[in-house]
Chain A
Amino acid sequence: MNGAQDLGGQMGFGPLELEDNEPNFHAKWEERAFALTLAMGATGTWNIDSSRFARESLPPPVYLTSSYYKIWALGLEKLLIDNGLVSPEEIDAGKPLGPSQPLNRVLKVESVAATLQKGGPADRPETQPARFNPGDRVRTRRMNPEHHTRLPRYARDAVGTVETVHGVHVFPDTNARGLGEQPTWLYGIVFRGTDIWGPDSDPNLTLRLDLWEPYLDLA
């Protein structure tokens, strides 16, 4: 979706705020928001793509004025409500007002290390040949879906070259919507900076994005 999260190429955000010896967390609640998000993710109620969509579909004024862990906390509330695990009234009350829903699993302390080590690989077995090969010139689709996608606006309807064939990966555009993983080929595509930003831009800039087959056509 064309939400506030799609920041590539936007202007006016000012200089970076750098902090020496920055801690992982700037407050206790950030630690808890982080851990709650990971622990609830580990229940398997939703997937990483739907959690990204929950965050990016926050209203732009909220997204752009919230710290990153606040975005995580708000996204988590949304996921919990959308998946029927808690009600908005329970969020407001801070306590259960009705029965719990069964979960696939609860992340217990003894399985934290193994769960993190296992991770969540996104590669899947090949079921059909790749449509593109390294060196192929491809054009990204012009598209503006209201659902989750990983093709940023700045790289739509642009011509680049296939550099890498990564393999078959889960397709976020369907996985985020409960339409299944629909695994498809993932490619590393290189674009000339001037093909994205125009002739006045840095001639020695190249951009690389990992893009799925449905985003691409032969140029």
Chain B
Amino acid sequence: MHRTKVRVAEDALDANTTIAQANRADFDREAVRVVNLMSAPGAGKTTLLEAIFREGLGELRAGVLEGDVQGSLDADRLSHFHVPVTQINTDGSFGGECHLDANMVRSALGEVPLDEIDLLIIENVGNLVCPAEFRVGEDAKAMVCSVTEGEDKPLKYPLMFRTCGLVVVNKIDLLPHLDYDIGKLRENIRSVNPDAEIMEVSARTGEGVEDFRDWLVRAADREAALA
């Protein structure tokens, strides 16, 4: 027996990226734009989507791919809104994967009616760490950050805050009850990601939700994105 060195020189996430590109090609073929929506658990992703679908997105036909470790509680909540919702569960391996990767999304694509929608919102597993690493074939990444999480989160999870083009600050209806400095949060987001768009909303009261709706409509506009 002897040892040989085999040169690899490959990004360890290349395999994921290749599958993400295949997903992207499928989305492009069906003219579907894709938003990867991420956050910590309990930041309000599903409540925000409920607020969006309650009013609707006008002409835009949206679908949701719902990622959870287990169960279909979130998908059940969204099923009232006459939007196609597809559930992915990440359990089955090692206590359940804490994020969606490109292959999990790929395996669910057969159940997503791509020909009937213009926009697919992928609600990722609640987690501020791993989802930031794995592309799934999205056009845009957005995150929800709630005011109950503390202003320091961008500095603690810079990978997530740097990867997202939009940060939706949720639960602002709670601000009167909290010692929370939203200016400090904005400053911290700017420190790690100067280009991020920031919007303040309350998914519960509906305040500011139209800003996110407008952003989704813009995200779905292929010509605008190309221009």
Asked if A and B are interacting partners, one says no
Q: Which residues of B contact A (CB under 8 A)?
A: none
